[in-house]
Structure 1
Amino acid sequence: MREMKKFKVAAVQTSPVFFNVEATVEKACKIIREVSSNGAKLVAFPEVFVCAYPYWNWILNPVQGSKWFKELYLNSVFVDDKELRPLFETARECGCNVVIGVNEKDPIKAGVLYNTNLIISDKGELMGKHRKLVPTWAEKLTWTGGDGSSLKVYDTSVGPLGTLACGENTNTLARFTLLAQGELVHIANYIGLPVAPTTYNMSEAIKIRAAAHSFEGKLFTIVSCSTISEEIIQFFEKEAPDCRELFERKNSTFTGFLDPNGQVIGDSLIDDDGIVYADIDLTECIQPKQMHDIIGHYNRFDIFDLRVNNKPIKAINFKE
């Protein structure tokens, strides 16, 4: 049986340096050093933190926003780009595990972008990457969906860790796939979404999803959400002069931690920039499983049979 660790974790709520990979990576490295100096062994960054979220898909029509797709592509990364190396080096120097969202360019197919979370070990190694399976709503104008090959749980130094991006934390089957692989630490990262319908409370929706996963799986969920900076607002005011009121809408973000009972622990943030911390003891995942262990005794696998295609999907397969 693997060791059940105790450790401190940090979650970041802030904005990227919009359309600037190098400056955003530098900002992330500074944060990694800060949280490490405060004792954190794991830090979670927001969705597509490197280095822009395509808000134009929501506030402009598809024709108006199309030109920004090219700009986003040119400010996106391959996972082995030299611009990302400081992240790996800083993780190694600080002995801190890092999960961070990036806009990832496909290494073969030009123009294809993925919403990707990188899982970086405390030794500075890329343990893996998760590509968001289904872009949400207007995001389909920007990202291509990933495949089942990235639905993995990683044996990190703090414990078995999995991650999903934003709305796919609503996907019960994706979440179960991670739970069934022994996930005990879940990273759920988001972007601030003030452009959602007015009846939709984004901060509450994030907490509901995180609480559901923590309670169902009897694990810890770490949530990291980005904010919308003054820089971003001014960027879009050139295209949509009335966007400020929309972007400054309250209750658009939540960053924090949920325990195996689905309860918020440690510090949390709504709307404001900052870094929050919590102490995690994985032995707290044990007792709740006596009541509801949906990957063990509290299920009927003679009735239910979940099958997951974990093969990478290719545009072409050659056959001799």
Structure 2
Amino acid sequence: MNSHILKVALAQISPVWLDKDKTLEKIASNIKSAANQNCELVVFGEALLPGYPFWLSLTGGAEWNTKTNKELHAHYANNSIQIEAGELDSICKLAQENTIAIYLGIIERAKNRGGHSLYCSLVYINQKGEIQSIHRKLQPTYDERLTWAPGDGNGLRVHPLKNFTVGGLNCWENWMPLPRTALYGMGEDLHIAVWPGSDHNTKDITRFIARESRSFVISVSSLMAKSDFPKNTPHLEKILKNAPEVLANGGSCIAGPDGEWLLEPVLHKEGLLIETLDFNRVLEERQNFDPVGHYSRPDVTKLMVNRERQQIIEIKE
């Protein structure tokens, strides 16, 4: 086994929108396919399980106390994932059986926050099938705040994968300099950026982060078209009335540690995008710039990270 080489799969797929059971089946199928092609890591897009809240911008999501928004939110909550209840156990088992690591974007109904509010979370499962981190998105973006709660720093963690050190952020978190720096400082050299979809998100920042960090950067987006909305979606007619034909066109891509494309953004194509990464490229590019090593001044500027999992009560028996 060459520990310097890592074969990765970018799962650019659409969800079975707001249907967690069918989306889990689709995710499982793609994990098996990636494993059959000898991939060692497979990455899925932001909020793929069970889907991005597209209705917010299509149905007057900011209108207060309306039946439409309440019913859609309840439908979303009913199809979100409660990890403590074992709802990712089947995915963990697949990771273990196939010796494949997984980054998966989910909507989490967090039990430690009462079990009703929703978090946009990025879950890392290692090749032993163990959940190693659950990163709740620090700052939902714009209309996302109408349905997602803000997360905390508990999931700002990196993980060993062969010679690589992997870490990840959700969507526009990737524009936040300090969370990026936190991961760099922990030794990250393979950065995972997950997105709901579209190259307007991925085409600039993927190369920028790679050049800034001198790391490989994998951006994975989902797909979503008007035809992908299930017929049993609450208030479907209202959603479709204002929906464009394509809501998310993909744009999954990979940049190397020099900031140049290894895989340019791929549009309108569903399936696995597979590439092989060579860790030595990281060492080559760190020779002249390392943002947290020889090209840093911790005596002048330093970052504090709070990884405490936030919760509303502390029970002492």
Q: TM-score, normalised by structure 2?
A: 0.90
Secondary structure of 2:287 counterpart? helix
Give the aligned partner of residue 299 of structure 1.
296
- The one-letter amino acid of 1:228's match is M
Q: Which residue of 2 aligns with 1:206?
A: 202
Distance in 1, Cα, partners of 2:74 & 2:146: 12
Q: State the Cα deviation string for residues 58-112 of structure 1 (Å, max 9, x = none).
A: 1121334332111111111111334422211111111111110111111141321
C-alpha change, 1:289 and 1:280, in structure 2 (3 Å) is: same
Q: Counterpart of 1:287 in 2: which secondary structure?
A: helix
8 A contact 2:210–2:255 mirrored in 1: yes
| One-letter identity of the residue aligned with 1:21 | K
Partner SS state of residue 128, structure 1: strand
Asked if 1 retains the 8 angstrom alpha-carbon contact of 2:199 and 2:267, the reply is: yes
Is 1:147 the counterpart of 2:152? The answer is yes
From 103, 111, 117, give the equivalent of 1:112: 117
- The match for 1:131 among 125, 136, 145 is 136
Give the CA deviation at 1:305: 1.8
Q: 2:304, 2:179 → 1: CA distance?
A: 11
Structure 2 residue identity aligned to 1:185:
L
Aligned to 1:24: 23
What is the aligned partner in structure 2 of residue 79 from structure 1? 83
Residue in 1 that maps onto 2:223:
227
Which whole-Å CA distance do the structure 2 matches of 1:7 and 1:88 have between them? Answer: 20
Contact 1:121 1:127 in 2 (8 A): yes
* Helix, strand or coil at the partner of 2:224: coil
**What is the deviation of 1:155?**
2.0
Which runs of no fewer than 5 residues in structure 2 stay unpaired?
Answer: none
Post-superposition offset of 1:4: 5.6
Does the 8 Å contact 1:48/1:102 carry over to 2?
A: yes
2:182 corresponds to which residue? 177
- Identity rate, percent: 27
Q: By how many angstroms is 1:14 displaced? A: 1.1
- 2:99 aligns with one of 81, 89, 95: 95
Cα distance in 1 for residues equivalent to 2:263 and 2:249: 20
Superimposed CA distance per residue, residues 164-205 of structure 1 (whole angstroms, 9 cap, x where no aligned partner): 01111111111010000001111111112xxxxxxxxx5143
CA contact (8 A) 2:16 2:230 kept: no
Aligned-pair Cα RMSD in Å: 2.1
User: Using the alignment, how far apart are the partners of 1:141 and 1:280 within structure 2?
Assistant: 38
User: How far did 1:252 drift?
Assistant: 4.1
- Residues of 2 paired with 1:300 and 1:77: CA distance? 42
How big is the shift at 1:314?
Answer: 2.2
Q: Using the alignment, how far apart are the partners of 1:248 and 1:284 within structure 2?
A: 36
Amino acid across the alignment from 2:20: V
1: CA distance, partners of 2:21 / 2:163: 28
Match of 1:215 among 211, 223, 229: 211
**1:67 counterpart residue number:** 71
Alpha-carbon distance in structure 1 between the residues aligned to 2:161 and 2:88: 20
- Following TM superposition, by how much is the alpha carbon of 1:231 offset from its aligned partner in structure 2, in angstroms? 2.5
The residue number in structure 1 matching 2:46 is: 47
Aligned-residue offset at 1:248? 2.0
Cα distance in 1 for partners of 2:172, 2:309 equals: 22
Shift of 1:317: 4.3
Give the Cα separation in 2 of the matches to 1:37 and 1:24: 20
CA separation of 1:54/1:205 partners in 2, compared to 1, >3 Å: closer, same or farther?
Answer: closer
Alpha carbons of structure 1 residues 120 and 65: separation in structure 2 relative to 1, 3 Å: same
Contact 1:4–1:283 (CA under 8 A) maintained in structure 2: no
Q: 1:253 deviation in Å?
A: 2.9
